[in-house]
Amino acid sequence: MHLYQDSISNMVGYSPIHGKLIAQTVKDPNVLGQMQKSFNGFVESGQVWALLIGLVIGYMFKSLTSYG
* pLDDT recorded at residue 61: 94
Q: What is the reported pTM?
A: 0.52
Average pLDDT over residues 7-21: 59
In sequence order, what are the residues at sequence separation of 6 or more whose Cβ sits closer than 8 angstroms to the Cβ of residue 28? 34
Q: What is the pLDDT of residues 35-61, one digit of tens each?
A: 999 999 999 999 999 999 999 999 999
Alpha helices in the chain (DSSP H): 2-13, 31-44, 47-65
